[in-house]
Chains A and B, each alone.
Chain A
Amino acid sequence: MNENVFIENLLIYAVIPLIKIVVIVLVLSGAIAYLTLLERKLIAHIQVRLGPMRVGWHGLLQPIADGLKFLLKEDIVPAKADALIFTIAPAISLIPAFLVFAVVPFGPPDMLQDFLGWTLGWFPFLNLDEATTERIAQNAIASGGYVTDINIAVLFVLSVSSVGILGIILGGWASNSKYPLLGALRSTAQMVSYEVALGFAIIGVLLVAGSLSLVEIVQNQQQEQLWYIFVQPLAFVLFFICGLAETNRLPFDLPEAETELVGGFHTEYSGFRFSLFFLAEYANMIAVSAIGVVLFWGGWLRPFPSFEWLNFLNFIPGVVWFLGKVFLFLYVFIWVRGTLPRFRFDQLMQYGWKIFLPVAMANVIVTAGVILAFL
């Protein structure tokens, strides 16, 4: 009996979460690789050309070829660079981008219930009786569509993503070269100012949801039968713009502005280290999209949960809805890049401090006032 409890706990708290982590990391890496291809293809078609066509059918194997190329390239550390920091900076940039996904709910808390009840029977050496299997499958930690559901998830996301910026700053500094230095300085200023506005935009949602847990935020949207984008449209617009700035995407890609800073903070990077920065940027894109979907677009919920005549849509699992919405987000990210020119540094700061921040603050005050007065 005791042994059974031990195995049960081991499965719930260690084995199953570990498997989930491995799956998420692997799937995420693949998703990032193919996001680069998606971007190249989409941009190409926006610009009346074809994009990668040679490696595989319509370039489908291009990400693999790119990855191999990066791996096989010579590993260069510039003579005057600070070798240690230069080496670890890409990792500092990449790891937090992946860490964010620890708290992202891909599906509802009972997402894996049936799956677990079904698969646990495959391992006879565990000697699980039916009641234990049931208990494991019922446990939200094991069966939830997420690695962990912590009650400060939003804070976790914000703080972890700030660490990622350190990688860029350190990388630019350690290169000991002028263009990367300028890029690093720009990114410091940009990310600090936009994170403030981003935080305030999120506070609007938090006030409505009354929780910092990403799972609960979605569950609240389920209870109220309303996505928060309809409650907090302004906050969403701010979130999206600041998200573009946080991920260094056009029109806010100043830290790496190719035509001004010759690549900015990663000018001196090449080969695999460069690819880590590159992966981090795309991982951040996916992370911002995922958080945006959770906060504003109802996470794993189907569209218009309040309309009963749309109930037939329920047969599609929540995780599919979630991934579909993330894809839409990413599509818009890429679309924006194909359309807009780049801001200038001082304009970017002006928009951040003089427009986005006051508007986001006003949004928080109005939201709080409305909640106090009417609810």
Chain B
Amino acid sequence: MKAMEESTVLDAKVLELNMGPQHPSTHGVLRVKLKLDGERVVDAECIIGYLHRGVEKISENRSYIECVPYYDRTDYIAAVSNVYGFLLGVEAMMQIEVPKRAQYIRIMMTEFSRIASHLLWLATHAIDIGAMTVFLYCFREREEILKLFEALFGARLTTHAFRVGGLWKDLPPGFVEAARKFIDEFPERVDEYEQLLTKNRIWMARTQGIGVISGKEAIEWGLTGPVLRGSGVRHDVRKDRPYGGYEEFDFDVPVGENGDTYDRYLVRLEEMHQSRRIIQQVLDRLPDGPVRGKAPKIVKPPVGEYYSGIDGPRGELGYYIVSDGSAHPFRVRIRPPTFISLQVLRRLVKGHLMADVIAIIGTLDIVLGEVDR
């Protein structure tokens, strides 16, 4: 009977199509096994793990300070905020005071990394749907941010941004001016993308009503970040459980209404504007002072466990750190936002067309380095 059910390509009603891991639009090494009826998706199965490096396990054999660069390499698109989440946890366990200036700079750089990450998302999302020009426009702006990263951290992608207790170095000369120049020009640039996409009939037809998920269901799936906010749930760790000084800044949390791909697009665009507002405030109020607090050379948090969650560009990025009092973490569990949002892919693509799978993978904004860790 089993043999009867299996079908060949020729007489198949259902075509099984392997999308990835080398497919151009699966954003890395995601493999999706699609079952297609014509072009309609009957079922989809995500196969992950092609980029698994065991970052969590490696952490157990490294000191707290040595762990940090590994987290750059989980979500390599927003490396700055990854490190931030872990360090906040360590600092809270050790009760290390971070100087005000360092806090402000950390927030600024995290928001810059959010903008850079959203730009990359918009670029790839747009080119997946065929709007090639937006791709290069976004990279133009992202380049400017990466230059800022390079000036401060000495690296563009895997930045190893922050240290326990603050920063490695203070801002280099000319940094504030360059940052100001960028945020002054930035709204105009976003308007350019909007001109090409927001009211574009084809863009709307390709994104509206695609991958709809209600707010209630999104919470049940454990979604966070723009994917959850696109469904109308006003959840943002920066507002709900402010960390690292976010309570001092004024910003809005944009939410969508319909929970479709188009709303998530609008939410992320608005988030870029809000990040810009935060950076503006940081630059206006940047205090003087040291950038590194009193941190011991060897970090040995007291016995205990701590969960530190931040709002990364892709959602709530959590680090659950268990310390046994030694210089190595006993266990670090990372809560990667896109690992959790990827599980909803199957639910979202069912019944849509093959071309929508691309749009939905794009709108979830996955990073396989983080999914697989």
Contact bitstring B117-135, A, C-beta under 8 A = 1, else 0: 0000000001111111101
Residues of chain A within 8 A (CB-CB) of B39 are 182, 186, 345-346
Least CB separation from B134: chain A residue:
A341
Of A60-68, A207-215, A254-262, the one touching chain B: A254-262
Nearest-CB residue, chain A, relative to B40: A346
Give residues 140-182 of B contacting A (CB, 8 Å). Answer: 140
Contacts A182-B354, A257-B130 known; 20 new A-B pairs at CB < 8 A:
A47-B137, A48-B137, A182-B17, A254-B355, A258-B24, A259-B24, A259-B128, A259-B358, A338-B132, A341-B126, A341-B129, A341-B197, A341-B202, A341-B203, A342-B130, A345-B353, A346-B39, A346-B353, A347-B205, A347-B206
- B9 and A260: CB pair below 8 A? no
Q: Could you tell me the distance between the alpha carbons of A46 and B137 in the complex, rounded to whole angstroms? A: 10
Chain A residues with CB under 8 Å of chain B are: 43, 46-49, 178-179, 181-182, 186, 250-251, 253-254, 257-260, 262, 337-347
Q: CB-nearest residue of chain B relative to A177?
A: B9
- In the complex, number of A-B residue pairs with CB atoms less than 8 Å apart: 84
B contacts, CB < 8 Å to A = 9, 15, 17, 23-25, 39, 126-133, 135-137, 140, 196-197, 200, 202-203, 205-206, 353-356, 358
Closest Cβ of chain B: how far from A217's Cβ, in Å? 33
Distance in angstroms between the alpha carbons of A251 and B132 in the assembled complex: 11
Instruction: Report whether A340 and B9 are in contact in the complex, using a CB–CB cutoff of 8 Å.
Output: no
8 contacts between A and B (CB under 8 A): A47-B135, A179-B17, A259-B128, A260-B358, A340-B200, A341-B129, A344-B206, A345-B355
Residue from B17, B129, B130, B133 in contact with A253 in the complex, judged by beta carbons closer than 8 Å: B130
B131 adjacent to A341 (CB under 8 Å): yes
Known interface pairs A178-B17, A260-B25, A345-B39; A340-B131 also in contact (CB < 8 Å): yes
> What residues of A have a CB within 8 angstroms of the CB of B128 in the complex?
259
A2 CB to nearest B CB, Å:
64
Which of B140, B205, B355 has the most C-beta atoms of chain A within 10 angstroms of its own C-beta? B355
In the complex, are the beta carbons of A341 and B353 less than 8 A apart?
no
Interface on chain A toward B: helix, strand, loop, or mixed SS?
Answer: helix
Give the secondary structure class of B's interface: helix
Given A251-B202, A259-B25: A43 in contact with B358 (beta carbons within 8 A): no
Residues on A with C-beta less than 8 A from B137 are: 47-48
* Closest residue on chain B to residue A179 by CB atoms: B17
Asked whether B130 lies within 8 Å of A251 as measured between CB atoms, the reply is: yes
**Cα distance, A186 to B353, chains bound together (Å):** 13
With beta carbons under 8 angstroms apart, the residue of A46, A47, A257, A342 that contacts B202 is A342
Chain B residues with Cβ under 8 A from A346's Cβ? 39, 353
Given A178-B17, A339-B133, A339-B196, A344 contacting B356 (CB threshold 8 A): yes
The smallest C-beta distance from B20 to any residue of chain A, in angstroms, reads 10
Q: Whole-angstrom distance between the alpha carbons of A261 and B70 in the complex?
A: 35
Nearest neighbor of B195 in chain A, beta-carbon distance: A339
By a CB distance below 8 angstroms, the chain A residues around B24 are 258-259, 262
Query: Could you tell me the distance in whole angstroms from the C-beta of B206 to the nearest C-beta in chain A?
Result: 6
- Closest-by-CB residue of B relative to A49 is B136
Given that A47-B133, A338-B133 are known contacts, is A344 also in contact with B126, CB under 8 Å in the complex? Answer: no
Contact between B356 and A178, CB atoms less than 8 A apart = no
Do A344 and B133 have beta carbons less than 8 Å apart? no
Q: For A351, give the chain B residue with the smallest CB separation.
A: B205
Bound Cα distance A260, B32 (Å)? 13
Contact of B205 among A47, A49, A337, A344 (CB under 8 A): A344
Residues of A close to B140: CB separation below 8 A? 48
A253 to B127, CA, bound (A): 13
A residues within 8 A CB of B132? Answer: 43, 47, 250, 337-338
